[in-house]
Amino acid sequence: MASGIKSTIDGAGRIVIPKRIRDRLGLGGGAPVTIAEHDGVVEIRPSHLDVTLVRKGSVTVFEPTVQLPPIDADDVRSTVERLREE
């Protein structure tokens, strides 16, 4: 098993995911995750966004099934920079 970063579980059962991991995965507050347990290991993964196909004029686009927070130019810029580093 790969080594990782240590964290703790608080009294309410919450775990803090370290900032550098959240940044690398693009996880912000309220981001949906999937939690699974297998063979004594807890696995936390970013959840896929549920989308539907919608016709917009002459093109078909993916549209999320839930309301998402708006993004601004800083969000786009930081995502592009993060992807260029990978």
Q: How far apart are CA 12 and CA 43, in angstroms?
A: 19
Q: Please check the confidence at residue 1 and state whether its pLDDT lies above 70.
A: no
Looking at per-residue pLDDT, the higher value among 83 and 55 belongs to 55
For the record, the structure tokens of 44 come out as 């936390």
What pLDDT is attached to residue 86? 67
52 Cβ contact partners less than 8 Å away, ≥ 6 residues apart: 62, 63, 65
Does a structural domain hold residue 12?
A: no
Does a structural domain hold residue 10?
A: no
% pLDDT > 90, the chain: 36
**Region 42-49 average pLDDT:** 87
Does a structural domain hold residue 1?
A: no
Does a structural domain hold residue 3?
A: no
Distances in Å between the Cα of 21 and the Cα atoms of 45, 47, 70 are: 12, 15, 22
Answering whether pTM is above 0.85, one says no
Please choose, from the candidates 23, 14, 28, the residue with its C-alpha nearest in 3D space to the C-alpha of residue 71.
28
Does a structural domain hold residue 6?
A: no
Does a structural domain hold residue 64?
A: yes
Structurally, the chain folds into a number of domains equal to 1
Q: State the residue range of the domain holding 62.
A: 19-85
**Region 32-38 average pLDDT:** 91
